[in-house]
């Protein structure tokens, strides 16, 4: 229609790199991981083909594959030296959610 503009979708993406203490010497790596996660989520949202859950999934994959974060590969280890992960996700529109806790067997980081 006349007078309407084709506007790009507007959104805001924020992430964190896990709970607990993060050494100041790790700040550069953590900022890089957060930026890459935000870019991954934003690219999904900018395409109009993916929804919020797809964007969240893209961000989480970046963070969990980065050993500098306290998530996925970089998780704190159990007393016996293994990774057990907790996760949850919720669709804000519908309220549908899912969660898991203490899941073993996730691709573990190599121990040095």
Residue 11 lies in a domain: no
Q: Going along 3-108, which residue ranges are E strands?
A: 85-90, 97-103
Split into its structural domains, the chain has a count of 1
Inside any domain, residue 3: no
The tens digit of pLDDT for each residue in 66-85 reads 988 887 777 778 899 888 88
Q: Which of 91, 99, 37 is nearest to 63 (CA)?
A: 37
Instruction: Tell me the per-residue pLDDT of 26-37, one tens digit each, with 9 for 90 and over.
Output: 999 999 999 999
Establish if 87 belongs to a structural domain.
Answer: yes
Does 81 fall in a domain?
A: yes
- DSSP H or E run through 28: helix 27-46
Range of the domain at 99: 24-103
Write the CB contacts of 63 (distance below 8 Å, at least 6 apart in sequence).
15, 17, 18, 33, 34, 37, 69, 71, 72
Burial class (CB in 10 A: 0-12, 13-18, 19+), 100: exposed
Q: Helix, strand, or coil here: 30?
A: helix
Confidence at residue 33, expressed as pLDDT on a 0 to 100 scale: 96
In a domain, 85, yes or no: yes
pLDDT in tens, 82-101: 888 888 888 888 999 999 99
Q: Say if 58 falls within a structural domain.
A: yes
Whether the per-residue pLDDT at 13 is higher than 80: the answer is yes
**Does 75 reside within a domain?**
yes
Is 32 contained in some domain? Answer: yes
């Amino acid at each position: 229609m006349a007078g309407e503009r084709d506007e790009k979708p507007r959104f805001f993406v924020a992430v964190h790199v896990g709970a607990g203490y993060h050494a100041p010497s790790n700040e550069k790596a953590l900022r890089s991981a957060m930026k890459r996660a935000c870019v991954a989520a934003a690219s999904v949202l900018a395409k109009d083909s993916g929804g919020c859950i797809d964007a969240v999934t893209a961000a989480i994959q970046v963070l969990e594959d980065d050993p500098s974060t306290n998530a996925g590969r970089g998780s704190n280890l159990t007393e016996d030296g293994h990774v057990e992960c907790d996760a949850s996700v919720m669709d804000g529109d519908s309220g549908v959610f899912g969660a898991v806790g203490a899941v073993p067997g996730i691709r573990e980081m190599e121990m040095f």
